[in-house]
Amino acid sequence: METRALTALDRRIAVIGTGTWQLGLDQGEVAPETAAAALEAAVDAGVTLIDTADVYGDGRSERFVGRFLAAHPDAGLTVATKMGRRAAQTPESYTREGFLAWNDRSRANLGVETIDLVQLHCPPGPVIEAPRTWQWLDEMVEAGRIRAYGVSVQTCEQALEAIGHPGCASVELIVNVFRQRPLDDVLPAARAAGTAVIARTPLPEGLLTHNRRRNAQSLPRPEDAPDLGRIFTVVPGDAGARAARELARLCRELGPEHVQPVQVALRWLIEQEGITCILPDARSAHQMRFNIEAAGIAPLGAEMHAALAELYDRIIRPYVHDRW
């Protein structure tokens, strides 16, 4: 699989990684053997980045990843976890003591002395802006608690603020074929700064899968939800469904032969300059292998890229582009 630079760690990671929120059992039971098979399939296919967080299943995801790491010491894996959602989402809740306590818990869960990459988990904007935040993270690097740090963000403005801090190794944000604003400013800024961009929710909350396409609907989310924007919170259901149908048509007419819309959407994201790694969700080994196949399909071509841009501008852009 193609690899791209994660400069702060002086290493390269595969362009497709795997998130593990769905293995933390927050969204329904996933049997341990099924979760293990999914990660085994990922590693066998060349995945090198595993993304988790301390709140996924209240630590179950981190502990699962820790056991997997211990069983695969020579797999060359990079682990990214997140911290900050265990406290009230106010700037005052983010303290040096809290950072150290969260980090201690994650290191114990993962079974490591030093975590490769720790990202703040969609913190309030003032936390990203505060110089003390970056000072505390620098201290954690100097103490050998973490190798690098970054921020998982909700908005492009927050991503740009984080990228402006020299020590920020990565930003993780929602970007996909129906959430294209980061292409305007975040990706160019990240390229200039040497900051890795990790794309979460590379598929618009299941809208492109068969079981969601027929019944897409808007679902409300709290304004401070860490997954705000995962679901079409502001796109009417009929508009989302129409966009998905048109994308499926474009795939049949312009896409590589025998390639599904989900894989085209993933391939589109891989081809965006400035993307370091994408994190499609997978609950099974079959889903994992299906997603990873996107890295190996033929480039989409200029006509497909232009058609997808037109589709976004015509149907989706009015609802989402200026919101996040």
Residue 168: its pLDDT value, please?
A: 98
Tokens of 16: 């497709």
pLDDT band at 175 (very low <50, low <70, confident <90, very high): very high
Question: 3-204+263-299 has which CATH code?
Answer: 3.20.20.100
> Band of the pLDDT at 31, cuts 50, 70, 90?
confident
- State the pLDDT at residue 237: 81
- Strand (E) or helix (H) holding 279: strand 277-279
Q: What percent of the chain has pLDDT over 70?
A: 89
pLDDT at 92 over 80: yes
Q: Which two tokens stand for residue 300?
A: 């989409």
Over residues 298-323, the pLDDT tens digits come to: 999 999 999 999 999 999 999 999 98
pLDDT at residue 32 in the model: 76
Q: How far apart are CA 32 and CA 17, in angstroms?
A: 19
Q: How far apart are CA 210 and CA 93, in angstroms?
A: 42
The mean per-residue pLDDT over the stretch 102-122 comes to 98
For the residues of 171-225, what is the DSSP string, one character each?
Answer: EEEE-BTTB-GGGTTHHHHHHHHT-EEEEE--SSTTTTSHHHHTT-------TT-
φ/ψ of residue 58, rounded to 5? 55, 40
Model confidence pLDDT, tens digit, residues 230-285: 545 678 888 988 999 999 999 999 999 889 999 999 999 999 999 999 999 888 89
What Rg do the C-alpha atoms of the chain give, in angstroms?
19
CB 282 within 8 A of CB 18: yes
Of 224 and 46, the one with more pLDDT: 46
Q: What is the pLDDT of residues 223-232, one digit of tens each?
A: 555 555 554 5
Lowest mean pLDDT among 144-158, 192-206, 210-224: 210-224
Amino acid type, 166: P
